Amino acid sequence: MHILATARLNLRTVEPGDAAFYLALLNDPAFVEQIGDRGLRTLEDAQQALLAGPIAMQEERGHSLYVVELRDSGGVPIGMCGLIKRDSLDGVDIGYAFLPAWRGQGYAFEAGVAVLGFAPSLGLRRVLAITSPNNIASNYLLRKMGMRFERFTHLAPGDAGTNLYSIDLAPPDDDGRLPRIVQALEALTPRAVFAPVSAPCPDNQRTRSKRTP
């Protein structure tokens, strides 16, 4: 299902047919180093992970990670960006990852700002983000998107620790689209175009998922 579009990108929900792309993304050395090894080694592993993770979360909560495609490529997936609810955090966080060939070209920023602009239509007024303190690019990107550093925290006993960021989103405009924080960034990225999707229940009214993406 189409979710939203920017000048260069389309964002859509995940499908089982994205298994090959998902397998390549999660086994990219930078993903393994900065985010972690998910242990997916086969197409069947990847498909089952999609069904139990992003696809299930989208059905249960009305949001999850989205596949990011180049608009002028006929649907070539280059990464993922979206809104995740983890058991280890007390709120919804924005997550993203892109294949090596598409990094350093502003796509993560463009997709991230669009997703933050979409969040209020889902009933979200605050969005979190986590990243490794050693991931210089991701820490810079989150600040560029307008997120503020809150604290260094441990999401599980014995883990290496992570930087926690947050952003408070203003209520959407009358058209239900971009909050003021995103409008302030329009000079840096084109205005997002949102698909006419039915509004899901606010996240805090949904049954909390037992899955951790």
Confidence of residue 172 (pLDDT cuts 50, 70, 90): low
Q: Who has greater pLDDT, 171 or 133?
A: 133
Of these ranges, 78-82, 132-136, 196-200, the one predicted with the greatest mean pLDDT is 78-82
Query: In this predicted structure, what is the pLDDT of residue 174?
Result: 54
Q: What is the mean pLDDT of residues 116-121?
A: 92
In sequence order, the 6+-apart residues with CB closer than 8 A to the CB of 160 are: 132
* pLDDT (0 to 100) of residue 198: 34
Looking at the chain, the whole-number percentage of residues with pLDDT higher than 70 is: 79
**pLDDT greater than 70 at residue 84:** yes
Average of per-residue pLDDT across 113-126: 92
Structure tokens that stand for 54 in this block: 């992003």
Please say if the pLDDT value at position 210 is more than 80: no
Query: By mean pLDDT, which of 40-49, 82-91, 201-210 is the weakest?
Result: 201-210
Residues pairing with 6 in the sheet: none
**163 near 130, Cβ under 8 Å?**
yes
For 159, other C-beta atoms within 10 Å of its C-beta total 11
Instruction: For residues 8-28, give the mean pLDDT.
Output: 96
pLDDT in tens, 31-54: 999 888 998 999 999 999 999 999
Backbone angles phi and psi of 4, in degrees to 5: -160, 170
